[in-house]
Structure 1
Amino acid sequence: MSYYATIFENALRNRLTFALGILALTFCFGFDAFAHGVAEGDQGYIQESSGVLFWPFVYLGAKHMVTGYDHLLFLFGVIFFLYRMKDIGLYVTLFAIGHSTTMLFGVLTGISANAYVIDAIIGLSVVYKALDNLGAFQRWFGFQPNTKWATLIFGFFHGFGLATKILEFEISPDGLLPNLIAFNIGVEIGQLLALGAILILMGFWRRTSSFHRHAFAANVALMTAGFILVGYQLTGLAVA
């Protein structure tokens, strides 16, 4: 990690690198900034559905993950410097356990929180992972947070954010548990599909000489994305 801390220190002097990161985020966030937004048609379907609808909810779960850029940004940060499939599988499993647990718990118990606050914390999870990839914690504070525990804990927040959104739709109690399980299965399928695409792209990029040169800019862009998401949510909280 000290190697990347050196990159971090040197690149701080490079204004062009910062400009590239900001430009990338301008492109990335040219769309709706609400992390757990659900398409209007899907909202209506969730609200009007009743009974066990296994495959439709599998589809909705997969669609949510594939289009849920807050999840994808965090996963991108998590696997950025992971090369072995064993390590990737471990971290993705921890995230999935956290995400699934709080989603099911939140909906079944009816416990919710302010959606803006939860989504702001999710934005901070993206910031955390980018700073971790840059070696900032070791350099600034002299310690390295436990990345496995952090992935699990932030997974809890990601799932709780989705549970809060689902509760707002007042989903029918008829077939609730099977539908939630189906939705969660879809989420994990979507996560695997998205992860596969990310790994393929990362695999090609890692084989080029530009990977280490541009690793800093990519993580600055990731960190900026997290801060933008936090800013949107806090603004929404202030004006709500």
Structure 2
Amino acid sequence: MRSVPRVAVVLALVAVALLLSAGPAAAHVTTVAYADLTAAGPTDVRVEFDLQYELLSASAAKAQGDPALFADAIGHPGQGAEDQVLADHAAAIIAYTTARFHVAVDGGSECLPHADGPAAFHSRDATDYARFAVHYACDAGHGGGFVVRSALFPDSEGMVTDTKTIVTYALGGRSGSAALDAADPQFSTAQPWTERFAEFFLLGAEHLLTGIDHILFLLALIISSRRLRDVVFAATCFTVAHSITFLLAALGFVHIGANVVEPAIALSIAAVAGWHLWEERLRRAARRRGEPAPPPSRQAALLRLGIVFGFGLIHGLGFATALKIEEPWSWTLLWSLLVFNLGIEAVQLSVILVVFPPLLLLRRRMPRTATALGVVVTAVVLLFGLLWFAMRALGLPGTP
């Protein structure tokens, strides 16, 4: 058995170090909050919140000094008693929310909040949520422009990281949506639509960049491609497939829980990596017999594209569940989601342009090193895919 070239070993160790440094918490650690703003009379605003039930309960209990809320909702929860828990601790929940979510007249004073009806417990994409409304009383003469600021579930609370607040609004003849987080905590309903879409574009780009599992899938796809045409066709199939399921989920036609989608994504990573290792095994066996490596057949190429397309459908559901999409919203929001998808595609194309040309050059000038490097890195990807599949299937904590 020939030894692996030293350069390949060094490069592979660097790749492993990068993967390990990313850590399990590098992806899928965000929570998503929802706020739907509508007009309440000629000057006021009604905000319907939809927040994760346990997270809201734990955060409000800690911030408002209400340990009974934590005990009732999380410590010793009663099946079917969630609505009563929300009613009993409504003051703490409203106080927590309104201290972190503000509505103000654009260029004027802040609107004064007060509760608007009881809260309701429900399930949203296999996650428990609490839906309740707050009435914000605003000054007259503002012309329909409002500034919205969200600091819900900040990193400093230690509960979750990088909260995304998806805001939709229909106020003063203006409608649209925005994605707020710690980096961009506020927006004005009077801002241009291009700025709102830019926020969703960056949100999509960030999701792929911080999603180490999606990056590994793409890396395995690139390494397993022998020609530029192969990686372009595969990336196109992947793009078309995940765009289909992403939009179907946004329109409410598809609903599959994260407990199914996330293990399937991890399994897809392992499958693509395993495919490459199997092909390399066949090439190596041919070289041992003194035969040229078998060229990829048309049937094998079509089968590979079919597999990539199928896994793309799964990844599209993963992108959708990252925003907990489960219902048809306004057309404006759907356009925002398309822009979110464009952000994903921009990063995907950038990764291909950065990784594939150097890999192609290495294969031409140092074929043994390129082969060994591809095998080692792909084996690491396979290991991570199988490990994450097992962790996600079992629901173990700390899983990316």
TM-score range, shorter chain: 0.7 to 0.9
2:164 corresponding residue in structure 1: 43
1:238 Cα deviation after fit: 9.3
* More relative contact order, 1 or 2 (CA 8 Å, 6+ apart): 1
1:118 Cα deviation after fit: 0.9
Q: Does 1:32 align with 2:191?
A: no
Match of 1:129 among 251, 269, 272: 272
Structure 1 residues 29 and 104, CA, compared in 2 at 3 Å: closer, same or farther? farther
Greater per-residue strand proportion: 2
1:114 Cα deviation after fit: 2.4
Instruction: Map Cα deviations across residues 130-183 of structure 1 (whole Å, 9 max, x no partner).
Output: 1111117997xxx96910100000000001112123126989747221111111
2:291 corresponding residue in structure 1: none
1:34 Cα deviation after fit: 7.2
Match of 1:175 among 324, 327, 332: 332
1:76 corresponding residue in structure 2: 219
Rounded Cα–Cα distance in structure 1 between residues aligned with 2:350 and 2:13:
28
Structure 1 residues 238 and 26, CA, compared in 2 at 3 Å: closer, same or farther? same
Greater gyration radius: 2
Rounded Cα–Cα distance in structure 1 between residues aligned with 2:250 and 2:20:
29
**8 Å Cα contact 2:250-2:320 kept in structure 1:** yes
TM-score between both structures, scaled by the size of structure 1: 0.76
- Of the structure 1 ranges 103-112 and 158-167, higher mean CA displacement relative to structure 2 is found in 103-112
Rounded Cα–Cα distance in structure 2 between residues aligned with 1:186 and 1:225:
25
1:38 Cα deviation after fit: 3.7
Q: Secondary structure at the match of 1:109?
A: coil
1:58 Cα deviation after fit: 1.1
1:223 Cα deviation after fit: 0.4
Q: Does 1:222 align with 2:381?
A: yes
Q: Percent identity, aligned pairs only?
A: 26
Q: Does 1:234 align with 2:393?
A: yes
1:204 Cα deviation after fit: 4.9
**8 Å Cα contact 1:112-1:164 kept in structure 2:** no
**8 Å Cα contact 1:116-1:237 kept in structure 2:** no
1:99 corresponding residue in structure 2: 242
Structure 1 residues 184 and 168, CA, compared in 2 at 3 Å: closer, same or farther? closer
- Of the structure 1 ranges 71-80 and 33-42, higher mean CA displacement relative to structure 2 is found in 33-42
- Of the structure 1 ranges 161-170 and 50-59, higher mean CA displacement relative to structure 2 is found in 161-170
Structure 1 residues 33 and 149, CA, compared in 2 at 3 Å: closer, same or farther? farther
1:89 corresponding residue in structure 2: 232
Structure 1 residues 234 and 92, CA, compared in 2 at 3 Å: closer, same or farther? same
**8 Å Cα contact 2:261-2:314 kept in structure 1:** yes
Counterpart residue identity of residue 312, structure 2? G
**8 Å Cα contact 2:204-2:343 kept in structure 1:** yes
1:116 Cα deviation after fit: 2.9
Rounded Cα–Cα distance in structure 1 between residues aligned with 2:25 and 2:272:
19
Superposition CA RMSD, Å: 3.6
Rounded Cα–Cα distance in structure 2 between residues aligned with 1:170 and 1:221:
38
Counterpart residue identity of residue 263, structure 2? A
Match of 1:199 among 350, 356, 376: 356
Rounded Cα–Cα distance in structure 1 between residues aligned with 2:355 and 2:208:
13
1:109 corresponding residue in structure 2: 252
1:236 Cα deviation after fit: 1.7
**8 Å Cα contact 1:99-1:157 kept in structure 2:** yes
1:230 Cα deviation after fit: 0.8
Rounded Cα–Cα distance in structure 1 between residues aligned with 2:26 and 2:325:
15
1:99 Cα deviation after fit: 1.0
2:372 corresponding residue in structure 1: 213
Q: Secondary structure at the match of 1:113?
A: coil
Instruction: Map Cα deviations across residues 64-113 of structure 1 (whole Å, 9 max, x no partner).
Output: 22222222211211121424322221110000011111011112216332
